[in-house]
A and B are shown apart, each in its own frame.
Chain A
Amino acid sequence: MKIPYRIEMEKRLEENPKWLPIVTSLGAIVLAFLISGIILALIGGDPLRVFKFFYNAAFGSWGALSDVVVKATPLLLIGLGCGLAFRMKLWNIGAEGQFYIGAFFASLVVLVPLVPEDSPKIFVLTLMGIMGMFGGALYGFVPGFLKAKYNVNEIITTLMLNYVAIYWNNYWIFGKYSDAGFQMTPTFDKVAWLPRLADLARKYPAFSGITLHLGVVFGLIAAVVIWLIISRSRWGYVISLIGDNPKAAKYAGINITRNIILVMMLSGALAGLAGMSEVTGVVHRLQERISTNYGFSGVIVAWLAKLNPFATILVSFLFGALIVAGREIQPSGLSFFIQGTILFLVISSDVLLHYKIRLVRTTEEIA
């Protein structure tokens, strides 16, 4: 028997309405949970109960919600940085390394120390923020310079530099700055801790135990700044132009070399700031594994957000929730499974932005 219909893909020629990408992305996320649910049911689980458990683990209490935001903060900063580079078709997948170097440079302020004792908190933290961004920018400069001057593939260099950064970090925490031979530095003085909501517990008892720290504000400010750059500034126009057609950009008189380096540096600076926010807001020392693959998850976050800074806020929140919920559930791989399915479907859903799917009645073929 022949099916009298066939599916045809037709290129979209007219403008897409603004809501279309949002609808397809949300649809893809819903579909991802649906597929995960079906698989859970197939292996004998109760998808509704699992998802309910998931929901409670992530949003069930103020404490859980605060944990989600804490996890989302580095993802947001890194996702913004990667998103900016991706707009220029610069494939910076070195955020993990830039994060570590940022954390390292920020920690130097306390470890060396670079500030006199009794320095005010605001001064110490500001300097740590600047150092973190400087370290990340420096670490973005290297692959950016190599790409711009010698056309060295940035995917390879940024990826490889991640490992260099991790071992660089290890060298110092195992050696000079080790706390009594442990693979970590001594806990920072409280002057180098980012303010937390829990600090206000004496005044507002409801905040006790809430670990939410100031880093999330860095992330939100960065989102606004990146949005301004992308959609309001000259530089944002230049970035899109280079990303769309570097030959046209060169023809229009734009200095591509300089812009590649600058974008890589800003991208790295944001990852470096994430590193600073993590050591001052969460761990309060420099140690091994301060990142749980934030640098790589950030790449995914940027893609899922379609490089839009405000969407990056939402997606990093979703990913923060998946990370927090994943801790509470067995097998813990489930949350990675859902992450993977979401990524796969959201990226596939792009096809709908370029094509219309139509059901067509098959015409009778000539015998």
Chain B
Amino acid sequence: MSDTSIDYANAVEMRDIVLQFPGVLANDHVDFTLKHGEIHALLGENGAGKSTLMNVLAGMYKPNAGTIAINGEQVVFNSPKDAIAKGIGMVHQHFMLVPTQTVTENILLGLDEPRFFMSLPKYDQKVQALADKFGLRVEPTAKIWQLSVGEQQRVEILKTLYRGAQILILDEPTAVLAPQEIQDLMGTLRIMVSEGKSIVFISHKLNEVTQVADRLTVLRKGQVTADGISLEGVSKEMLAEWMVGRKVIFQINKKEQVPGQVVLDVQNVNALNNRGLSALNNCSLTVRQGEILGIAGIAGNGQSELAEVITGLRPCQGKIMVNGEDVANRPPKFAIDRGAAHIPEDRSGVGTAPTMAITGNLIMKKFDQEPISHNWRISYPAAKDFATSLKSIYDIQAPSISTAAGKLSGGNLQKVILAREISGGPRLIVAMQPTRGLDVGAIESIQKLLLEQRANNAAILLISEELEELLLLSDRIAVMYEGELVGEVDSKKADLNTIGLMMTGALRSAS
């Protein structure tokens, strides 16, 4: 490789990449070109093959067919190590950091140097210099567990930069960030580009893409639908059509209706998080029949704990009235029996049992009621009838009702949870991140189901990090910051900036 070749060769040229997973053609003859010094957005729905394609580039998967050229040179990657040697660095969606070690230690992990004796202060300085250069604010001596998610992401980026990455792949980097942190990240990306690095930015958020990228490639079901086109003149509607193959309705019909009686009344609740630190600080809120109260906030500001105290999964101080009965510090069954449904944040870890069949997952809250159970027995024929009807009503895509829940896609798993929770005719629904990580089609159907429940007079507490979703669905929006409800706005009069400022603690308001 001579220096002159860089001038006309592209940083990355992937040609005719084919990758077959069992039953799925994840990449179907995909071409992808990354020019030097550009930010290239890679868009697509979940399961479109974006991450797979980039994992091929990062040496995690070996393609069944196709060629990869880096700076004009043909390469074959047998492991991520080969890719790193060619200057490719990938920041994954799920961070791979050791929580008990410092930033510097994590960055040095797995490197050949230092070999045996570590002189950490020397490396702290190196890390600090690198961080300063790229505008990545992070304390080299801090332990990972002390850092926010945004800071941890910076450590991951530093890790790749430290290893000399010239080509950076960021897999949905903004999914975990607050609005301000997203702006910081965009700044960093621009510095990196000015330093001659080339960046692939995987996303399914259209706004960010239009804000930062030079060119974009869109994948749909493993195939390219837009190949490295310039962003000028591209509208959001066009992007959405490339991604899902049809026009997406961005407005959902939300009927005007007058809320009824108070169903959920949380009064001065305090609670601790898993580490024993204060997570909820004197929280009070009410939700009425036929009303959606949205809770906005950056992850980790007490939203999970709020959902857990209401559903009986976490002890607390204070009163939580559901239809006039205090459910605080009662077992989960108490709230369930009083008509509280819960759509948990962690679908596979809390919301479902992975090796159990869809049927078993659907009857989870009905297994002790007629007609599914008589006395000590469970009637499996009745359970199957129940599951079969829910599968068709809620359009759960699966080979059969005896398919294990763990084999379902995220969207279908979420439909299983919603089917179970909604079919009980709930009076209160606590929904935490109900659409996170789902594709556009699934998001739409989940949002419609929630609005249907609103029309059915259920009281809904919707906790989400997607402001647009909150604005779309909620009647009122309350903002959480560091365990406190710092303000509440009417969603019709809400202004994104105001909410954004409240989410970062810069503004408090009592509406």
A residues apposed to B, CB below 8 Å: 10-11, 13-15, 232-238, 240-241, 244-245, 247-255, 363, 365-366
Contacts and interface: CB of A to CB of B under 8 A. Distances in A.
Contact of B331 (A10, A237, A241, A255): A255
A10 B22 CA distance: 7
B349 A234 contact: no
A240 B359 CA distance: 13
Interface in B337-374: 337, 342, 344, 346, 349-356, 360, 363-365, 367-368, 373
A251 B399 contact: no
Contacts of B400: 15
Nearest to A238: B367
A237 B399 contact: no
Interface of B: 22-23, 64-65, 67, 74, 76, 311-313, 331-333, 336-337, 342, 344, 346, 349-356, 360, 363-365, 367-368, 373, 376-378, 380, 399-400, 402-403, 407
Contact of A234 (B65, B352, B364, B373): B373
Contacts of A237: 360, 363, 367, 378
Contacts of A10: 22
Listed from nearest, the 9 A-B pairs whose CB atoms lie closest are A253-B333, A244-B353, A245-B353, A252-B364, A253-B332, A253-B336, A247-B350, A248-B353, A10-B22
A274 B348 CA distance: 40
B365 A252 contact: yes
A250 B331 CA distance: 9
Contact of A248 (B65, B352, B376, B402): B352
A14 B22 CA distance: 10
A355 to B, nearest CB: 10
Given A240-B356, A241-B356, A245-B352, A15 B332 contact: no
A176 B403 CA distance: 59
B407 A13 contact: yes
Given A10-B22, A233-B376, A253-B365, A248 B407 contact: no
Contacts of A11: 22
Contacts of A14: 399
A241 B360 contact: yes
A244 B355 contact: yes
Given A10-B22, A252-B332, A366 B76 contact: yes
A244 B353 CA distance: 6
Given A13-B22, A15-B400, A234-B376, A251 B360 contact: no
A276 B351 CA distance: 43
Given A237-B367, A255-B331, A365-B76, A247 B356 contact: no
Contact of A366 (B74, B331, B365, B402): B74
B65 A363 contact: yes
Give the most central of B22, B312, B331, B355: most A CB within 10 Å: B22
Contact of B402 (A15, A232, A240, A251): A15
A254 B367 CA distance: 11
A363 B66 CA distance: 12
B453 to A, nearest CB: 19
Contacts of B344: 251
Given A15-B399, A240-B360, A253 B367 contact: no
Contacts of B354: 244-245
Contact of B351 (A234, A251, A366): A251
Contact of B377 (A13, A234, A247): A234
Given A240-B353, A250-B332, A255-B331, 10 more contacts: A235-B376, A245-B349, A245-B356, A247-B349, A251-B311, A251-B332, A251-B342, A251-B344, A253-B336, A255-B333
Nearest to B383: A237
9 contacts: A11-B22, A13-B23, A234-B378, A241-B353, A248-B352, A249-B353, A251-B350, A253-B312, A255-B333
A236 B373 CA distance: 12
Nearest to B308: A251
Contacts of B346: 247
Contacts of B378: 232-234, 236-237
A233 B379 CA distance: 8
A363 B363 CA distance: 47
Contacts of A251: 311, 313, 332, 342, 344, 350-351
A363 B333 contact: no
Nearest to B420: A252
Contacts of B65: 363
A253 B331 contact: yes
Given A10-B22, A15-B400, A250-B313, A366 B349 contact: no
Contacts of A252: 332, 336, 364-365
Nearest to B375: A234
Contacts of B403: 15
Q: Which of A15, A236, A249 counts the most chain B CB atoms within 10 A?
A: A15
Q: Which of A232, A248, A366 has the most CB of B within 10 A?
A: A248
A249 B354 CA distance: 12
A325 to B, nearest CB: 37
Contacts of B368: 234
Contacts of A240: 353, 356, 360
B325 to A, nearest CB: 16
Nearest to A242: B353
Given A13-B22, A240-B360, A248 B351 contact: yes
A252 B313 CA distance: 10
B314 to A, nearest CB: 11
